[in-house]
Amino acid sequence: MKIIVAIKQVPERDAPVRINASAKWIDESNLQYAMNEPDAYALEEALRLKEQSGGEVIVISVGPERVGSTIREALAKGADRAIHVACDNLSDRDALGVARLLAAAIQPENPDLVLTGLQSEDLGQGQTGVILAELLGLPHATLILQVEKTETGLKVKRELEEGWFQFIELPTPAVLTIQSGGNKLRYATLMGIKRAKTKEVRQLNAAELAVDAAPVVTLEKITLPKKQKTTQMLPGTPQEAAAALVEKLKFEARVL
């Protein structure tokens, strides 16, 4: 199977995010970036499928130059080659605009399977995979924990809400969005890191892909969320804070 995995680079989980001067985006200076974790699970599933039944794993990512480090990480983990769609104004595009870039770059590759994480950790829109399926004219399934190759296509395990699951059969080519926890994530080996340096990273430019870039939905303003409750922060040493909390729980909240 020829598998394409769409991966996104996002601010590191614990990175302090601040609103920038325009209040339309976050301050990107001094920010550390990492591979979007759900996409890491999508990559893991792709690598396992390749190990089981052969084929090729291609990673694709849209974004500025810094995205290259996340692409190298994916190659070090075992992807065969990569496509980098260079785009410096990612935050100006809506989910549809980004999916159009991905679809335009993926289409000529004619993959058997397109995988991506169920959502990104920064914007959390959770739409890219489903829109990609629509743009590519392929069937799809979301929140997938297991993928099994069958004679006619795929049998996948889909997570439903509140601890329920279902199996879905669908033909290939197809698009799946992968839920975390189906597999354990692998680390890149030293050999993998070394080999990644020689693997092909094809550069495409967003401007050359001739897709409609004008957003129909714009992120107008970013604000700090309003507190839903008045939180009493308990200061002091761990012992002081712990003692204060026990007092509060016992006599104020009356839950002890």
Partner 1 sequence: MSILAVLESSAGRIRNISWEALGAARHLGKLTNQEVTAAVIGAQTESLAAEVAAKHSGQIVRVEHPLLARYTADGFVLALHQFIQNESPTQVVFPHTYQVRDYAPALACRFGQPLIGDVVAIGEGPVFTRQLMQGRLNGDYRPTGNAPCFISVQAGAFRAETSESGADTVTTFTPTIDPAQIRTKPGEPFRASAQTVNLGSAQRIVSVGRGIKDANNLPLVQELAAALGAELAASRPICDNGWLPMERQVGSSGQTVSPKLYLAVGISGAIQHLVGMKGSQCVVAINKDPDAPIFEVADYGIAGDLFDVVPALTEAIKAAKQ
Residue 125 CA to residue 34 CA, distance in Å, equals: 18
Task: Write down the least CB distance from residue 106 to partner 1, Å.
Answer: 15
Q: Nearer to partner 1 by C-beta: 190 or 255?
A: 255
Q: Nearer to partner 1 by C-beta: 70 or 142?
A: 142
Residue 155 CA to residue 145 CA, distance in Å, equals: 11
Task: Write down the least CB distance from residue 46 to partner 1, Å.
Answer: 18
- What letters, b where the CB count within 10 A reaches 16 and e where it falls short, cover 12-27? eeeeeeeeeeeeeebe
43 by DSSP, 3-state: which? helix
Q: Nearer to partner 1 by C-beta: 72 or 116?
A: 116
**Do 156 and 171 form a contact (C-beta atoms < 8 A)?**
no
Task: Write down the least CB distance from residue 158 to partner 1, Å.
Answer: 8
Q: Nearer to partner 1 by C-beta: 198 or 231?
A: 231
DSSP 8-state code for residue 200:
-
Task: Write down the least CB distance from residue 44 to partner 1, Å.
Answer: 11
**Do 169 and 154 form a contact (C-beta atoms < 8 A)?**
yes
